[in-house]
Structure 1
């Protein structure tokens, strides 16, 4: 039997672990005769997902578009704010405590306020996704810019570079690994924000679907919604991980070589 290479094992490991978890899950549900309304087996979730594939995909598409809209706003606002915060030590010290305090507030507390301002629907979900996902972008971009060595800045200024030149030609490229790393975190948080808002203030989306299913004790549909959200999150995370490796591979040569 041909021995598998470490690279092949690394690629198969997530699939094998997922299969192992599903098999154990199925065995526990069947072995202990756990009622479906408490914990459905993967086979029951799969059957429900196939039967209701149309409605699930419709709600999932809406959630995905809502999440991407909130995420896009978070990236733009977070990158601009991160550049402002990271470009000046004074602004960094002044703004950072406020950002940390804002991020510490549970975003679900903003949903009722957003409903009052914008009504029930898509807008509160987009804004909640934005509010919960922009902080990692701000922090990482600001951290990337603030790690620029003062000695390097002094050398560049002595060569006639302006503050804008230093930011554009050195600071921003230096912060790119931080920026792309923050995108992987921010996109998963954006899903959390949009689904959280949909469970409270929407009549469409996976969050609304799960709330409707739970009210009728249709737990297989609830878990199907959870799995769909998880799959979308993994796909988007992997997309930005590949983008990060392609565009900032120069900053992680050793790590990329290991993969």
Structure 2
């Protein structure tokens, strides 16, 4: 019985923590009589979400679409550049410092430029999601390829394997855990990029909805939008976590293995 209780606690720890936080949040707001326009209680956020379900879903699908498109582009570009950086030292020396410098620039600074180039709407949101999320993919893929032991490469070359054979049959499979780890980070950043652009230069999306709601002091709707973004991020994160376990089962260790 004790073992089953422990297993139940491990599997449901996140849900129990969420319920506890919601309960504390509700007690604070109701007990201290906090005005709804400052900090709405979870019950008020729930009511706002139910009352405005259709517009929330319309804007949520727009954000989801722009995020996935930008994320898909980021994955393709990140993998290609990551393979080049992790495989060829000359590409690493030439390109990596530029990429680090580019990644250091706040991506919100690019939004006005993108608006001038492409106008207000979906394209700047897609590009912002791409710009903010491709770097983790690049770095992790490059790191996965760069950790291939030189001795193993020497043995494979002595057996007649070409550089492409080593990359395809050993390097890329070894980089899979790094790749899926980067996807879990990049998808959350992609949502951040989309919402940032929508708050600045869009007439659709959750970011736009929250800006419109905050201008009318409808904080319950703002928090409902935040929760929707969080839920979408968690769903996509869990999807990639499931894919990681499925395709890199041999690399799973520690806490994840113990919790199964």
TM > 0.5 fold call: yes
RMSD: 1.2
| Residue 186 (structure 1) aligns with | 186
Hey, what does 1:132 align to over in structure 2?
132
Where structure 1 has 5 or more consecutive residues not aligned to the other structure, the ranges are none
1:86 aligns to what? 86
Q: TM-score, normalised by structure 1?
A: 0.97
SS in 1 for 2:12: helix
User: Is 1:103 matched with 2:79?
Assistant: no
Deviates more, 1:72-81 or 1:90-99: 90-99
Deviations 1:8-64 (A, max 9, x none): 211111111000000100111111111111100000000000000000001001100
1:156 match: 156
The total of aligned residue pairs comes to 259
Distance 1:168 1:144 in 2: 13
Give CA-to-partner distance per residue, 1:133-185, whole Å, 9 cap, x none.
00000000000000011111111111111111111111100101100010000
3-state SS of paired residue (1:5): helix
Q: Distance in 1 between matches of 2:102 and 2:17?
A: 37
Query: 4+ residue runs of structure 1 moved beyond 2 angstroms?
Result: 1-7, 253-257
Shift of 1:100: 1.2
Deviates more, 1:52-61 or 1:245-254: 245-254
Match of 1:231 in 2: 231
Q: Are the equivalent residues in 2 in contact too, given 1:245–1:256 (CA < 8 A)?
A: no
Secondary structure of the residue aligned to 2:239 is helix
Give the CA deviation at 1:238: 0.5
CA change 1:119–1:257 in 2 (3 A) is same
- Unpaired runs of 5+ in structure 2? none
Instruction: State the secondary structure of the residue aligned to 2:37.
Output: coil
Q: Distance in 2 between matches of 1:96 and 1:24?
A: 46
Residue 3 of structure 1: CA displacement? 6.5
Corresponding position of 1:25: 25
